[in-house]
Structure 1
Amino acid sequence: MTVHDPIKAAAQKARAAIPDDNAMLRAAAEMSRDYAVANPRIYWPDMLASALVGWAALGGAMLVKDAAVAIGCAIVAMMALYRAASFIHELTHIRKGALPGFRFGWNLIVGIPLMIPSFLYEGVHTQHHARTRYGTADDPEYLPLALMKPWSLPLFIVVAALAPVGLILRFGVLTPLSLLIPPLRRKVVAELSALSINPAYRRRAPEGDFARMWHWQEAGACVFALALVGSVFAFGWKPLLVYMGVHSAMTVINQLRTLVAHLWENEGEAMTVTAQYLDSVNVPPPGYLPALWAPVGLRYHALHHLLPSVPYHALGKAHVRLMATLTADSPYHKGNYAGMLPLVGKIARSTMTAR
Structure 2
Amino acid sequence: MTAETIAPAPSLARLANDLTRDLMRPNPRIYWADLIATAAVTYLSLFVAVTARGAWALVAAAVCVLALYRAVSFIHELTHQRRDELPGFHLGWNLLIGVPFLTPSLLYEGVHMLHHAKDRYGTARDPEYMPLARRPLSSLLGFVLVALLAPVGVILRFAVLAPVSFLIPPLRRWVIAKTSAMTINTEFSREDFDRAGKAPWLAQEIACWLWSWAVIGLAAAGVIPIRAIVIAVAIYAVFALVNQLRTAVAHYWENDGSMMTFEGQFLDSVNVPPPALLPFLWAPVGLRYHGLHHLLPRMPYHNLGRAHARLVGHVPADHPYRQVEQPELVPALRRLIRKVR
Matched residue, 2:235: 246
Distance 2:195 2:174 in 1: 20
| Aligned counterpart in structure 2 of residue 165 of structure 1, from 126, 135, 152 | 152
Distance 2:326 2:197 in 1: 38
Q: Which moved more, 1:199-208 or 1:312-321?
A: 199-208
Matched residue, 1:81: 68
Write the deviation string for residues 8-61 of structure 1: whole angstroms up to 9, x where unpaired.
Answer: xxxxxxxxxxxx973422211214521110001100010110011101110111
Matched residue, 2:30: 42
Query: Amino acid of the residue matched to residue 222 of structure 1?
Result: W
The reply on whether 1:228 has 2:218 as its aligned counterpart is no
Instruction: Give the conservation status (yes or no) of the 8 Å contact 1:135–1:271.
Output: yes
Distance 1:200 1:32 in 2: 37
Distance 2:318 2:46 in 1: 48
Alpha-carbon spacing, 1:190–1:21, altered in 2? closer, same or farther (3 Å) = farther
1:351 Cα deviation from its structure 2 partner? 1.6
1:230 Cα deviation from its structure 2 partner? 2.2
Instruction: Give the conservation status (yes or no) of the 8 Å contact 1:280–1:301.
Output: yes
Distance 2:298 2:28 in 1: 15
Instruction: Give the conservation status (yes or no) of the 8 Å contact 2:110–2:192.
Output: no
The reply on whether 1:28 has 2:4 as its aligned counterpart is no
Matched residue, 2:85: 98
Matched residue, 1:54: 42
1:215 Cα deviation from its structure 2 partner? 0.5
| Aligned counterpart in structure 1 of residue 126 of structure 2, from 139, 145, 151 | 139
The reply on whether 1:148 has 2:135 as its aligned counterpart is yes
1:192 Cα deviation from its structure 2 partner? 0.4
Distance 1:201 1:69 in 2: 42
1:231 Cα deviation from its structure 2 partner? 2.9
1:267 Cα deviation from its structure 2 partner? 1.8
Of structures 1 and 2, the one with the larger relative CO (CA 8 A, separation 6+) is 1
Matched residue, 1:117: 104
1:206 Cα deviation from its structure 2 partner? 3.7
1:223 Cα deviation from its structure 2 partner? 1.4
Write the deviation string for residues 103-150 of structure 1: whole angstroms up to 9, x where unpaired.
Answer: 000000001111110010011110001111110001000000111111
Instruction: Give the conservation status (yes or no) of the 8 Å contact 1:191–1:202.
Output: yes
Write the deviation string for residues 266-316 of structure 1: whole angstroms up to 9, x where unpaired.
Answer: 121101111111110000000100110000000000000000011000000
Distance 1:180 1:320 in 2: 54
Alpha-carbon spacing, 1:241–1:31, altered in 2? closer, same or farther (3 Å) = farther
Deviation >3 Å, runs of 4+: 20-23
Q: TM-score, normalised by structure 2?
A: 0.94
Distance 1:119 1:198 in 2: 18
Q: Which moved more, 1:169-178 or 1:20-29?
A: 20-29
Instruction: Give the conservation status (yes or no) of the 8 Å contact 1:282–1:303.
Output: yes
Instruction: Give the conservation status (yes or no) of the 8 Å contact 1:58–1:77.
Output: yes
1:208 Cα deviation from its structure 2 partner? 6.0
Distance 2:334 2:178 in 1: 31
Matched residue, 1:261: 250
Which structure 1 residue ranges, 5 or more long, are not aligned? 1-19
Instruction: Give the conservation status (yes or no) of the 8 Å contact 2:195–2:201.
Output: no
Distance 1:330 1:208 in 2: 42
Query: Counterparts of 1:204-353 in structure 2 under 5 Å?
Result: 204-207=191-194, 211-233=198-220, 234=222, 235-352=224-341
Distance 2:245 2:301 in 1: 20
Distance 1:204 1:211 in 2: 14
Matched residue, 2:3: none
Query: Counterparts of 1:61-72 in structure 2 under 5 Å?
Result: 61-64=49-52, 66-72=53-59
Alpha-carbon spacing, 1:87–1:31, altered in 2? closer, same or farther (3 Å) = farther
The reply on whether 1:128 has 2:115 as its aligned counterpart is yes
Alpha-carbon spacing, 1:210–1:96, altered in 2? closer, same or farther (3 Å) = farther
Distance 1:212 1:275 in 2: 38
Q: Which moved more, 1:49-58 or 1:219-228?
A: 219-228
